[in-house]
Structure 1
Amino acid sequence: MARLVLSECCGLAPLRLRAGRGAIAAPSPPALSAAAAPGRPAPAAIHRDWALRVSAATRLTSAVEEDKRSSPLGEGDEHVAASGAAGGEFDPGAPPPFGLAEIRAAIPKHCWVKDPWRSMAYVLRDVVVVLGLAAAAARLDSWLVWPLYWAAQGTMFWALFVLGHDCGHGSFSNNPKLNSVVGHILHSSILVPYHGWRISHRTHHQNHGHVEKDESWHPLPERLYKSLDFMTRKLRFTMPFPLLAFPLYLFARSPGKSGSHFNPSSDLFQPNEKKDIITSTASWLAMVGVLAGLTFLMGPVTMLKLYGVPYFVFVAWLDMVTYLHHHGHEDKLPWYRGQEWSYLRGGLTTLDRDYGLINNIHHDIGTHVIHHLFPQIPHYHLIEATEAAKPVLGKYYKEPKKSGPLPWHLFGVLAQSLKQDHYVSDTGDVVYYQTDSKTNTSAQKSD
């Protein structure tokens, strides 16, 4: 049951589909679009010099094949029909009239430059804030202060995770050893196995938007969804349970997938990655030992207040943010299978989110579309890179709703998506989430 609850943390969600390249079988799918929007760049010529590195050497689609997949021209009349037949309305599932190389060319060259001193300054800032918050809360030791501390410290734990995430992508610096050392320290401090998570996250980036191959919050096929018992569905789609899924995912992964992020023999990893997994698991165990020692010295209640509650606030941040990167838009977003999937088309289903004052605190991770397409760009250049890429992306970029100082509106978006996005069809190459009316009614009653 626990594995099914966690599926959304790193791998569940419902879609709607289109059988092969024919009509969409999903409920109320977006209409097929006309040709490219006015002013949008012409389809990309084939570029052979494009290369993508997510966090380690990987086998990716060639630039030639990628441009063919992502451009309606050169694909035959069926792509022309797919992108421009139904009255001129935009179809987010149609192949875009541009390639990755065009997006990359629009981004200023300095946005690709990684400054290790600047990256380390962010680490120093966050560590000082974490230690300062803990010292202040312990000294005041007031129930008027503890709730504020938990919210603030949990958010800072999440900020540490994002910096470790950058180390995993290699966007922290060009020095692999520095990335590994800093990544281990940051992630181990919040009980995340650095290499284990880094590798599974690499799989997510390489397969984003693919129904079966994606690793993070991917859709639940209808057959598997309907095999779930009532309690599992309740936990999977009812707040706040989906916000507590990440620790379970680390140990047991998602429904339909096997493996643990701590086991070097897990099918998550290649044989040559075993040493890395042993290292990160040992670092994780060392942190568990440190926490056990502090609990013995300070008492379990004190440690629960100082570390335990902020840890679960961090987990809630991680689950909510990663879910909302790929779900909850007011228009249905496609997921792909088979030949319809490409790295570009999968990445264009990613969403940017505005978190108000939290944007700077968690290092602009809500600026996520360009990060997914080009994870080598440092977080401090993501906003500028996104603005530069928007003219190329056109309607394929979904402008995020502006937030107030705190992103309260996103809790409503999350709750609504959990009520509606339950499963996708077992067949079809372009699919959209479908809603189980029984689950939806049950969720509304529980509210």
Structure 2
Amino acid sequence: MTAIFEPSAKAADVNPYGDLTLKQVIQTIPKAYFQKDSRKAWTAVLLSVGTVALGYVAIALSPWFLLPVAWFVTGTALTGFFVIGHDCGHRSFANRRWVNNWLGHIMFLPLIYPFHSWRLLHDIHHRHTNNMEIDNAWAPWSQEEYSGAGGFLQVVYQSMRGWLWWLASVAHWGALHFDLRNFEPRDHAKVKRSIAAVVIFAAIFFPTLFYFAGPWGVVKYWLMPWLGYHFWMSTFTLVHHTIPEIQFHYDDTWNEAEAQLSGTLHCDYPKWIEVLCHDINVHVPHHISVGIPSYNLRPAYAALKANWAPLMKETRFSLDLMRTITGRCHIYHPEQAYQTFRDLGR
């Protein structure tokens, strides 16, 4: 069941799904795994707040040569803030909507992420996962889209699909989440409130940090941990749905069950990362149902494997994995999932 990276392997030779529906897959997950547990939920909040606080203590006390380690660990802990806000956005943290909304905003503020903007755009990704025409998360460009783009955009796309993948979520954050044109008019009031919350936070936080710590303090205490968070934001979201065996589809061939079950990759990371990031890497059950809280993802994944293992993909995070993804998963191919930039010139 581990993903095999064979250059000759085709991602869409056989369609094993037939009439399989997502509802049938959901029914194989025990109902207990959909239940919220307030103790586990708030323990996760305390874990993230505690580790982020310790991270900033480490940044304050570390000599210069240990700062990169402190930044990276703190950025990883800040990713836990995002995952908690992520559960809030899916209403899987608490039963009360106001709790989800307030906590989601609080968790996202240090990341300068407008909560409702992210929530609404992320819902589109879940409803249309791996759909070439609608998905807004790491859908590859078609050959026609790439050829029609200007030289500058081609360079940017090549960089984001290559060894600068870890900056892609910064571009995604800035380009999509603050533009009202990306949202339905009925949602504009919510989006404006979230953007206003971020602007007010930034207007207070950054001048205060600059006043007390100077420009280096802004870099040291905010920018570098924030980039550490975006390393994981980019990496997790890329790996979730991108290997040479995962095929994106256009509307006429897109299948919901295939997209969520086989088009989502389980990837094991070092344990400390999984703990600080609340098992966001156990992503298949989350795409089967967003109602499963993060602390129930592992047992839900085991239940899915017991029923659907031949249709699932899993791998382990490594330099080789990222080399494969960034070296081969460039441009959409209708039969082999991807072609490389080099292939286009042949």
TM-score by length of 2: 0.89
Superposition deviation, residue 350 in structure 1: 0.8
Please state how far the C-alpha of 1:364 moved relative to its aligned partner.
0.7
1:432 aligns with 2:337: yes
Structure-1 residue corresponding to 2:264:
350
Whole-Å Cα distance in 1 between the matches of residues 10 and 111 of structure 2?
Answer: 41
Count of residues in correspondence between the two structures = 335
Query: Which protein is bigger by CA-based radius of gyration?
Result: 1
Which of 252, 255, 261 is matched with 1:339 structurally? Answer: 252
Is the counterpart of residue 423 in structure 1 residue 345 in structure 2?
A: no
The match for 1:29 is 10
- Cα distance change, pair 195–97 in 1 and its aligned pair in 2 (3 A): same
Aligned residue runs from structure 1 range 74-223, under 5 A: 91=14, 93-95=15-17, 98-138=20-60, 140-223=61-144
Give the corresponding residue for 2:232. Answer: 317
Distance 1:400 1:419, change over 3 A: closer
User: 2:12 and 2:293 mapped to 1: Cα distance?
Assistant: 36
Alignment-derived partner of residue 17 in structure 1: none
Return the letter of the residue paired with 2:10: P
Separation in 2, partners of 1:155, 1:232: 30
Cα distance in 2, alignment partners of residues 240 and 313 from structure 1: 15
Equivalent residue in structure 2 for 1:249, among 163, 166, 172? 172
Segment of structure 1 superposing worse, 153-162 or 294-303? 294-303
Could you list the runs of 5+ residues in structure 1 that have no partner in the other structure? 1-25, 33-90, 254-260, 402-406, 442-447
Deviations along 1:322-349, one digit per CA (max 9) or x if unpaired, are 00111125xx222112232132122121
When residues 133 and 346 of structure 1 are mapped into structure 2, their CA distance, relative to the original with a 3 A threshold, is same
The question of whether the paired residues in 2 share the 8 Å contact of 1:114 and 1:171 is answered with: yes
Whether the 8 Å contact between 1:112 and 1:378 is mirrored in structure 2 is yes
Offset at residue 105 of structure 1 (A): 2.4
The alpha carbon displacement at 1:161 in A equals 0.7
Higher share of residues assigned helix: 2
Task: Classify the secondary structure of the residue corresponding to 1:399.
Answer: strand
Q: Secondary structure at the match of 1:103?
A: helix
Going from structure 1 to structure 2, the CA distance change for 1:436 and 1:343 (only over 3 Å counts) comes to same
Question: Offset at 1:170?
Answer: 0.8
- Distance in 1, matches of 2:111 and 2:171, equals 15
Q: Root-mean-square deviation (CA), in Å? A: 2.3
**Aligned counterpart, 2:3:** none
Aligned twin of 1:262: 178
SS at structure 2 position matched to 1:131: helix
Give the SS at the match of 1:307.
helix
Deviation digits for residues 128-179 of structure 1, max 9, x if unmatched?
Answer: 22112212331x2411331221111010111111111111011111111000
Q: Relative to structure 1, is the Cα distance of residues 130 and 28 closer, same or farther in structure 2, using a 3 angstrom cutoff?
A: closer
- Does residue 286 in structure 1 map to residue 200 in structure 2? yes
Q: Distance in 2 between matches of 1:269 and 1:27?
A: 41
List per-residue Cα deviations over 1:208-237 (Å, max 9, x = no partner).
Answer: 011111111012011111234555444433
Which AA in structure 2 matches 1:371? H
User: Structure 1 residues 292, 415: CA separation in 2 closer, same or farther (over 3 Å shift)?
Assistant: farther
SS at match of 2:134: coil
Q: Give the distance between the partners of 2:116 and 2:172, measured in 1 at CA.
A: 15
d(CA) in 1 for partners of 2:232, 2:46 = 21
Aligned residue identity for 1:107: I
**Per the alignment, in what secondary structure is the counterpart of residue 424 of structure 1?**
strand
Among all aligned residue pairs of Structure 1 and Structure 2, give the percentage whose two residues are the same amino acid. 27
Contact kept? 1:167, 1:183, Cα under 8 Å: yes
Per-residue deviation at 1:419? Answer: 1.8
Question: What are the Cα deviations for residues 357-415 of structure 1, in whole angstroms up to 9, with x where unaligned?
Answer: 111211111111111110110011111011111132131111323xxxxx4x1x33223
Indicate conservation of the 8 Å contact 1:363/1:379, yes or no.
yes
Which deviations, in whole Å up to 9, do the C-alpha atoms of 1:263-317 show, x marking residues without a partner? 3x31x21222111111110111122121222112221112211111010111111
Taking the aligned partners of 1:276 and 1:229, their CA distance within structure 2 comes to: 35
Q: Kindly tell me: are residues 106 and 303 of structure 1, through their superposed partners in 2, closer, same or farther at Cα, counting changes over 3 Å?
A: same
Letter in 1 for 2:269: Y
CA gap 1:94/1:105 in 2 versus in 1, 3 angstroms: closer
Distance 2:86 2:42 in 1: 14
Q: 1:262 to 1:235 in 2, by over 3 A?
A: closer
Q: Is the 8 A contact 1:162 1:362 kept in 2?
A: yes
Residue equivalent to 1:271: 185
CA separation of 1:108 and 1:31: change in aligned 2, threshold 3 A = closer
Q: Distance in 1 between matches of 2:92 and 2:58?
A: 33
CA distance in 2, matches of 1:304, 1:218: 32
Name the CA shift for 1:147/1:440 in 2 (closer, same or farther; >3 Å): farther
Cα distance in 2, alignment partners of residues 395 and 102 from structure 1: 16
The answer to whether the 8 Å contact 1:336/1:431 transfers is no
Structure-2 change in CA distance of 1:312 and 1:94 (3 Å): same
Maintained 8 Å contact 1:335/1:431: no
Alignment partner of 2:291: what SS? coil
Compute the displacement of 1:30 (Å).
4.5
Q: TM-score, normalised by structure 1?
A: 0.70
CA distance in structure 2 between the partners assigned to 1:201 and 1:187 by the alignment: 14
Match of 1:398 among 307, 313, 317: 313
Retained in 2: the 8 A contact 1:237–1:419? no
| Superposition deviation, residue 97 in structure 1 | 6.2
